[in-house]
């Protein structure tokens, strides 16, 4: 775990704003995932933080990858240059799932040469895949409960369970191979029963498909949603794993059925730390306000896009704190990190603040709004 002194030393060396990625922490998170879900192959959701350095660390640890665009696909594809064609194609199936259910025609054309595994959830997508990527393997994404998820996804993607087998059989009729099912219970899911219900729905669909003459599905992708331990309200990962393992053992005991998952946040949330500098200070309506050189258009984008609550800390020790406002550097009033952050009120211009658990969906969504560049990235323990 990175220390305060390391943060300060790195900020002194590289300047601020600074985004620090601790690769030892990434490896610990991956090891924890495999320890408690040994049957499940982790396909890291590259969108959570699409840095080649992170992909490399997880690749070496044994992870596979969930991509949702061609640029993400090519970040992972870099690792198979020079492989013979047959080995390359087999590697892609083992290491990449293209898990965006809606794909442009141009993307499908480009993907077809790799014979990828792709998700779909509607009839039009079947027709597109048949025309532009007929060599792809298909995985039907179904709609499942997202109750209690911080980011709900079921309203945008997923076929209803009632139409699932009809879509599977239509894809087969078109000459395509449907390899299995996928679902997503919503991002940062703290209601573990979502997984229980989703696995049960999947088992029912497997059963119905077999009864209607299709028995060639051999994988179940249980998606993402595995919560990062942002605070004490998040129950231990081991507790979630026990529920998932019990349902898989009961409903999918056949070892020939591959179990996939798409953890993103879980793998990297705790591996990212932000360090920023105080550029301005004032008192408004009796409240101390600090203006820092990182914000909601940059590393703290998760406040807007990901419903994230980010804590900001001072390097000072033992000082009485009060609720302060912390604003980002842009001219937009939306650029607010917090309006009630407990901080010392006597901090001076030029002092540093920091935020932990910033690894997921943060720097990945940074912009150049107002001309302010994203934070500099520093990788440690690579």
Interatomic CA distance for residues 216 and 196, integer angstroms? 24
Interatomic CA distance for residues 76 and 198, integer angstroms? 29
Q: What is the DSSP string of 79-137?
A: GGTT--HHHHHHHHHHHEEE--S---HHHHHHHHTT--EEEE-SHHHHHHHHHH-TT-E
Three-state secondary structure call for residue 235: coil
Q: Which of 289, 310, 324, 331 is catalytic?
A: 331
HSE on the CB side for 269, CA within 13 Å? Answer: 19
CB-based contact 314:351 (threshold 8 Å)? yes
Sign of CA dihedral 333, 335, 341, 346: negative
Determine how β-strand 352-355 pairs with β-strand 272-284. Answer: antiparallel
Q: How many C-beta neighbours within 10 Å does residue 148 have?
A: 17
Interatomic CA distance for residues 233 and 180, integer angstroms? 34
Phi, psi of 226 (to 5 degrees): -60, 120
Interatomic CA distance for residues 201 and 182, integer angstroms? 11
Q: How many helices (H) and strands (E) does the chain have?
A: 12, 18
Question: Is 289 assigned a catalytic role?
Answer: no
Catalytic residues: 331
């Amino acid at each position: 775990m990175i220390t305060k002194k390391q943060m300060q030393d790195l900020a002194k060396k590289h300047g601020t704003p600074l985004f620090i990625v601790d690769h030892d922490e990434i490896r610990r998170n991956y090891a924890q995932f495999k320890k408690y879900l040994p049957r499940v192959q982790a396909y890291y959701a590259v969108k959570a933080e699409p840095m080649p350095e992170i992909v490399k660390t997880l690749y070496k640890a044994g992870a596979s990858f969930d991509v949702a665009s061609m640029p993400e696909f090519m970040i992972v594809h870099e690792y198979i240059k020079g492989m013979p064609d047959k080995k390359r194609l087999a590697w892609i199936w083992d290491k990449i799932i293209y898990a965006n259910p809606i794909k442009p025609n141009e993307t499908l054309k480009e993907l077809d040469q790799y014979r990828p595994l792709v998700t779909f959830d509607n009839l039009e997508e079947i027709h597109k895949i048949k025309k532009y990527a007929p060599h792809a393997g298909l995985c039907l994404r179904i709609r499942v409960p997202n109750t209690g998820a911080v980011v709900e996804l079921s309203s945008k993607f997923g076929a209803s369970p009632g139409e699932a087998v009809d879509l599977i059989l239509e894809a087969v009729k078109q000459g395509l191979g449907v390899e299995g099912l996928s679902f997503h219970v919503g991002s940062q899911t703290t209601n573990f029963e979502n997984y229980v219900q989703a696995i049960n729905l999947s088992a029912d669909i497997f059963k119905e498909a077999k009864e209607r003459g299709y028995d060639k599905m051999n994988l179940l992708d249980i998606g993402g949603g595995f919560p990062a331990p942002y605070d004490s309200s998040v129950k231990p990962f081991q507790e979630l794993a026990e529920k998932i393992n019990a349902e898989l053992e009961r409903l999918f005991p056949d070892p020939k059925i591959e179990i996939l998952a798409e953890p993103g946040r879980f793998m990297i949330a705790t591996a990212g730390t932000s360090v920023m500098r105080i550029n301005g200070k004032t008192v408004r309506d009796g409240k101390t306000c600090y203006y820092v050189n990182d914000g909601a258009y940059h590393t703290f984008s998760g406040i807007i896009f990901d419903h994230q609550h980010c804590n900001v800390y001072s390097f000072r020790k033992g000082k009485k704190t009060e609720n302060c406002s912390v604003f980002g550097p842009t001219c937009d009033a939306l650029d607010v990190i917090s309006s009630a952050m407990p901080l010392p009120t006597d901090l001076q211009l030029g002092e540093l603040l920091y935020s932990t658990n910033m690894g997921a969906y943060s720097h990945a969504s940074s912009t150049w709004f107002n001309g302010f560049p994203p934070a500099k990235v520093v990788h440690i323990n690579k």
